[in-house]
Structure 1
Amino acid sequence: MVEVIQGRDITLAELINQFGLQLVDNEQFFSEWQHDLPELSDLEKQSLNQVKAEYLHLSKYPILEPVVKMVVLSPLLHLAGFYQPPFYIASEQEVKISSEDEGTIITGGIDILVFHPPFWVLVIEAKRAEYSLEVAIPQALAYMLANPGNDKPTYGFVTNGREFQFIKLTKQGTPRYALSYTLSLNRRDDLHTVVKVLKRLADLIRNS
């Protein structure tokens, strides 16, 4: 009997058991998020400082997912160049992934998908404290595994509006993944770093 799991309910343990997913504890595997990052202009830094100020103002109230997309994520993707060719953005995309023996099927929708070339962005609601990035990472990895290409790395980005984390997945042979540190809007210039990493990954994807 085929087991169907909603993407939002998937756990890392299930991905490891069903798809052989392995965590790589080696900085060289995912060095892209730390090395050769571009510099930001003064205007870009000012824009990010404004994003931070607006979020901190609005965070006095319960922040729902649409507000996170509008106030935080949209400016980040804009500054990183994901609204320009060759990228194209869609939202609420349905995805499906099955294990090799077809015994498990994971279905669900990803909030924002930047594709051509592929880049996955997942936003989780931040209206309650328990919605941490740890909840979103297995879901993002499940959707990244569904990416049809196997020859190139796939990158993911998860945020709850206040925290941000990047993911790299390779699928040649055994699927392997690594995570960046958790970056925080509340920590000094971390928001600047987020855009630098997004710019770096955009360049890598354009030239791949």
Structure 2
Amino acid sequence: MVQVIQAQNVGLADLEARFGIEETDTASFFTEWLENLPEITDLEKQYLDRVKSHFLRLVKRPPLLEDAVKLVVLSPLLSLAGFYDEPFFIKSEQSIEISADDEDEIIRGRMDFLVIQEQLWLLIIESKKSSWSLLEGIPQALTYMIANPNQEKPIFGLVMNGSDFIFLKLTKNSKIKYALSDQFTLLKRENELYQVLKILKNLSQILS
């Protein structure tokens, strides 16, 4: 009998055991969040200052749930980065199922936000409750990224909870490898949404 495991219950150790996934610290593996980042305009900075202000105002009245995080923080970022324009289109709550070779287990889950271009999963956005640690979302995001049918191109992701952001990159060659960016947060005096937007813009240029 096939056992079904929900994606939100999968940890990094499960992914390592089932799929041989490996984290790499090779500096050249994930340069997209560091190098050749586009500049953003003063108007975009002003808008991002408002986004930060709106979020910090909302967190004073918890709970701030997933839909509010998407509306207040994620949607403006995707819009400014060009993910609502051609050649991209958005699908949300996408179902996935994956199983390892010779395993009687299926991992099943639903993706919070998915950016697709020409039927390829290119950027996966996993937004969590603002009170959740990003560490809880990383294995789930990686599970969805492993399920991507495209074996040739790198897959990028973003795990966020409203105040904190981590980018991911995964490749599926002879081995499945992934790496994480530094963590960005809105709990600093400087607005780190500037850097988050630069990275998203860079990814939109790469993926288009």
Category of TM-score, reference length = shorter chain: over 0.9
What pairs with 1:46-61 in structure 2 (closer than 5 Å)? 46-61=46-61
TM-score (norm 1): 0.95
| Same amino acid, percent of matched pairs | 48
- Tell me what 1:35 maps to: 35
Structure 1: how far apart are the matches of 2:195 and 2:2? 43
CA positional deviation for 1:26: 1.5
CA positional deviation for 1:125: 1.2
Structure 2: runs of 5 or more not aligned: none
Structure 1: how far apart are the matches of 2:102 and 2:185? 40
CA positional deviation for 1:193: 0.2
Contact 2:52 2:191 survives alignment (8 Å): no
Query: Could you list the per-position Cα deviations for residues 45-67 of structure 1 after superposition, in whole angstroms to 9, with x for gaps in the alignment?
Result: 00000000111111101111110
**Partner secondary structure for residue 40 of structure 1:** coil
Query: Could you list the per-position Cα deviations for residues 112-150 of structure 1 after superposition, in whole angstroms to 9, with x for gaps in the alignment?
Result: 100115211111112x3xx11000000000000000000
Contact 1:18 1:104 survives alignment (8 Å): no
Q: Which runs of 4+ in 1 moved over 4 A?
A: none
- Tell me what 1:198 maps to: 200
Query: Could you list the per-position Cα deviations for residues 8-56 of structure 1 after superposition, in whole angstroms to 9, with x for gaps in the alignment?
Result: 1110000000000000012210011011000000110000000001111
Structure 2: how far apart are the matches of 1:102 and 1:80? 40
Structure 2: how far apart are the matches of 1:104 and 1:174? 20
**Partner secondary structure for residue 39 of structure 2:** coil
TM-score (norm 2): 0.95
CA positional deviation for 1:185: 1.3
